Structure 1
Amino acid sequence: MSTLIGNTQASGVVSARRPSFFGLVQGELIKLSRQWMTWIMVLCLVAGTALLQVIIARFGSTQHDIQIQSPNFFYSEMDMTLLIMRAFGGIFLMILTAYLIGMEYQNGTVRIILARGVGRVQLLLAKFTALLVIAIELCVLGVLYNALLTLITLFALGGNLDIISKMSSSVWSNIGLYLISMLISFVVTILMAMTVTALGRSLAFGMSIALAWFAVDNIGTLFLRLGYMFTKQQFFLDITAYLLGPVLNVLPAKMLPQDVRVSQTFSPWIDISESRALVTILVYALVFAVVSIVITWKRDVHE
């Protein structure tokens, strides 16, 4: 009887001390905030954006667009600064994801966390939630920072901010659509990095595969184009519409009106609709989510 009572009391103590999901998320955010690597990457992103803004301000077309109060100024700002933010922000999130998951296995700290009553899938979802919070913060703070730099450019070149009040609501709506496409890119990037890191259970494996994924996707379109040129088989061009990197690259252009031009580097060699691009991205996201959860759930931690 005393043994039964003792076990019950011990079980109650473990249950009481089991971290909550929100506590786990907070712990992951604190963990990332204390890494020097995180802040170095943030500083690089801030400095790079500021440098790009200086380059934009030196364009002759920039001052001309401000003087005639053309919306092209804001679209140029959107295309260049947010493109850099989307590309380097994605790399930033891939590195953080690989670090947050891979280091737990590499250092063996995952066993300590699991010994406290945290489930493997619960821990994975907490890490994903923390990274999602960072992605949202990156979008919000990045927009505010770019807006500040834009205001400085407007005042330096135009002497006033009258152009803002004279822009139609469609301009701000289109910029909002671009931001939505950027957030979609961030989310699927996190899921991809989470999946490959959960598969390899190693920081080096997760980071190398995650960083190589989009490079292989994008450069692969060039080789597929060569394949079409040599064989004249449409298959080589069709397959580019199912590669994640090129589809993410073309998503902003498909979400925005046709008269709003945005950069499309390494896009699919065939034309795809907005709905097809979104469905393709959704399928990738679901596959990444299911694979990472199943792998984490089925594979025990022995190392």
Structure 2
Amino acid sequence: MTDYYRPVVRFGEAPTQQSFPLAGGLCWFDTVAVHTRGGGVRSIAAGDVPPEVLENLTRSRPPVAGMAMTAPRIMGILNVTPDSFSDGGQFNAPERALAHAVAMQAGGAEIIDVGGESTRPGAVEVQIAEEIARTAPVIAAIRAKSGLPISIDTRKSAVGMAALEAGATLINDVAAFTFDPKLAEVAAQARVPVCIMHAKGTPETMQADPSYDDVLLDVYDFLSERIEAAVAAGIARDQIIVDPGIGFGKTLEHNLTLLRGIALFHALGCPILLGASRKRFIGTIGGGKDAADRVSGSVAVALFAARQGVQILRVHDIFATKQALDLEWAIGGAAMT
């Protein structure tokens, strides 16, 4: 029977003598929750965790795309699409996209994630040529103005290759290289970092009654397998980011379970990215029928994730998130370095 190890993460307090640093960052833990399929959860002292798991939990994460992984980094969302759930049609003209990227950088974004295909529930696939036409010119324009890291949010190898040629520095694949395995080869050949995400089904079908045996452990196993597939394709293990895929084939309760247990994914030994900004479950719980009315709830989720040691926060509301993080870290007695 397989055990899964979730550190009980703490931040802003004096570490105990029995504590360990989490992923080389500012959070720490002295207790670990052990999950077993069908067997519930039990607690053990951190020092009793198997050595190879403890190494994954404590080891410092190397920089990714020039960003240190010692504190939360903000990834600004730039959807150059007509139909994304929150900002579709707002930035699909190149000049507006560039202006928004510049504004996000000024607000505190440390990487810009450019996407040309909506992955909202029910969205249909965009043709490759159209996706390239939407994204590559915008990436090139941002690169001409800024040295900021740029991520291409795509499932397709041809789109990824065009984005890298235009100046992108990271590939963010919501399908974890299952939609187009050649995208992993593109990343490996270019030696760029990647983010692999869990999604159940495609955007067209993913919210059609999704079910799991155990959503937290099922997503963990999927990401573990996709890490190995990426490494086998030639991608450096220390340049792989994992994303549990909030809202991608998940019910409200699935999303909450993943958030409550998000520290489990540190045991994979990779930086964690969370993309929960403005998603429907925030409005369901906290109010906000329109996506733009979910800013406060999105910031609350981001702060929770940061206190769980999540390294990258993919958000729409850059300044609000950055301000909250700066205050949280200052109150906790740590600098955002």
Taking structure 1 as the reference length, what is the TM-score of the superposition?
Answer: 0.28
Higher relative contact order, structure no. (Cα contacts within 8 Å, ≥ 6 residues apart):
1
Question: Which protein is richer in strand relative to its size?
Answer: 2
As a proportion of its length, which structure holds more helix? 1
